[in-house]
Structure 1
Amino acid sequence: MGLYLAFIIPPLLLMLYAQWRVSSTFGKYSKIANDRGMTGLAAARWLLDQHNLQEVRVELSKGKLSDHYDPRGRVLRLSPDVANKSSVAALGIVAHEVGHAVQHATAYTPLKIRNAIYPVASLGSNFGFILVFLGFILYSFGTAFGLNIAWAGVALFGAAVVFSVITLPVEFNASTRARIMLRSTGLASVTEMNGASAVLSAAALTYVAAMLQAVMQLLYFVMLLMGGRR
């Protein structure tokens, strides 16, 4: 148990901090109106049109901070707090999601890799744990192939870890594109850029924390299985 806590607690604390930082930073800059008075919905449509992405639709999504770009349907979905408010925070989040749409349109390699491994990664995220623990249970009852089942679970979970790792350059690049487009188009003033950038940086930390959690969990499983094999 001590080993498990040593692997899990630090990244968990980082994740909790990251979530608090996103919530507090978004809350702060969502109360500050942008100079143009543009809602997130209007800003999204305008930025997409600036990049000749008229075919990308903009829709509302449910839930807080549920904003995302769906490459399968070529749809940019915005949460109500972003879509309907003309805030500085909305500009940052919208520009980030438009950044993903531009990545898709320009066949950005890390995004292509992430989309390609998503089905296996999703399977690994949902069933990797189950196979690992099922394998350990079978092994504890003297079933030798239990370790093989557990290793299969580790392999599946490893795909989810790879997905989490490849997500970092995808998200960082989208934020870099967001900052560039907000500056180059003049959509955000210098002061507004500081606020939008703060929101983007806070969001990026959540992806770093998620990646560390996944990697540490995988390492813990591997150490357990190596011990079982001995």
Structure 2
Amino acid sequence: MGYGMFFDPTYILVLIGLGLSMLASSKMKSTFAKYSKVRSLTGITGREAAARILQAEGITDVRIEHVSGNLTDHYDPRTKTVRLSDATYNNPSVAAIGVAAHECGHVMQHHQSYAPLKWRTALVPAANLGSNLAWPLIIIGLLINSSSSALLINIGIALFSAAVLFQLVTLPVEFNASSRALEVAGKAGLLNPQEVGQTKEVLQAAAMTYVAAAAGSILQLLRLLILTRGRRD
């Protein structure tokens, strides 16, 4: 076939993406671990911080729940629920307050119909479809020798591009949520100026995981284009 699908130079792109992801994940975990041991001066937990932020913003229709796991915190817009993980829910640390505030930042985005959040939500079905079907379609297109092979390859690349677009739209959503978190936590008196700086470190490290994921997806897309260029030509 001439592409060396399983042993080809384009694997360097995969390795670069994997390396970026591992570095970002390691930095995020170490930064969170560091500041999860720093007790906030207010002594409030992540759950209490989230409740105060929502109250200060006049948001009364969002629940706060505990979810098992580590760093599994998220906001579910379908049920209007902020779910805080083991390391956040009952933890009175600077890191816990920062993560809780970040999730409340997503609540504020939803409450105010923040455009990039709406775009990301709209892209979820296409992104899921692309993640699951893109590679199978492309591999089948590369393996078969028929008039439909080019069509399968093009559909696969289009689907994968949707997943990449989802990753890119995620970036402004996450950075904006962190910005909102730092602002509201400071205004509400949940963190003093020094703690705001420490929380910023945590949120920046978390944001880098999304940057690494987006970079990895772009590299994967580039690899797909390189692998399929000759066949489509």
Return the TM-score normalized by structure 1.
Answer: 0.95
Query: What is the SS of the residue equivalent to 2:10?
Result: helix
Name which of 114, 131, 150 aligns with 1:125.
Answer: 131
Query: What is the SS of the residue equivalent to 1:3?
Result: coil
Q: Deviations over 1:40-78 (max 9, x none)?
A: 111111111111111000111121100001111111111
Name which of 87, 90, 96 aligns with 2:93.
Answer: 87
Residue aligning to 1:40: 46
Name which of 7, 20, 34 aligns with 2:26.
Answer: 20
Residue aligning to 2:191: 188
Conserved? CA contact 1:57–1:74, under 8 Å: yes
Q: Which residue identity does 1:18 align to in structure 2?
A: A
After TM superposition, give the deviation of residue 2 of structure 1 in Å: 4.3
Q: Structure 2: which 5+ residue stretches go unaligned?
A: 1-6
After TM superposition, give the deviation of residue 143 of structure 1 in Å: 2.3
Query: What is the SS of the residue equivalent to 2:9?
Result: helix
Say if 2:220 is the partner of 1:217: yes
Say if 2:63 is the partner of 1:57: yes
Residue aligning to 1:160: 163
Q: Structure 1: which 5+ residue stretches go unaligned?
A: none
Q: Which residue identity does 1:87 align to in structure 2?
A: S
Distance 1:129 1:73 in 2: 32
Q: Which residue identity does 1:171 align to in structure 2?
A: E
Query: What is the SS of the residue equivalent to 2:69?
Result: coil
Distance 1:186 1:38 in 2: 11
Distance 1:215 1:113 in 2: 19
Moved over 3 A (4+): none
Query: What is the SS of the residue equivalent to 1:59?
Result: strand
Supply the RMSD in Å over aligned alpha carbons.
1.1
Q: Which residue identity does 2:131 align to in structure 1?
A: S
Conserved? CA contact 1:151–1:225, under 8 Å: no
Q: Name the count of aligned residue pairs.
A: 227
Identity %: 42
Q: Which residue identity does 1:225 align to in structure 2?
A: T
Say if 2:140 is the partner of 1:134: yes
Name which of 10, 31, 43 aligns with 2:16.
Answer: 10
Name which of 175, 178, 188 aligns with 1:175.
Answer: 178
Query: What is the SS of the residue equivalent to 1:188?
Result: coil
Query: What is the SS of the residue equivalent to 2:42?
Result: coil
Return the TM-score normalized by structure 2.
Answer: 0.94
Distance 2:230 2:114 in 1: 41
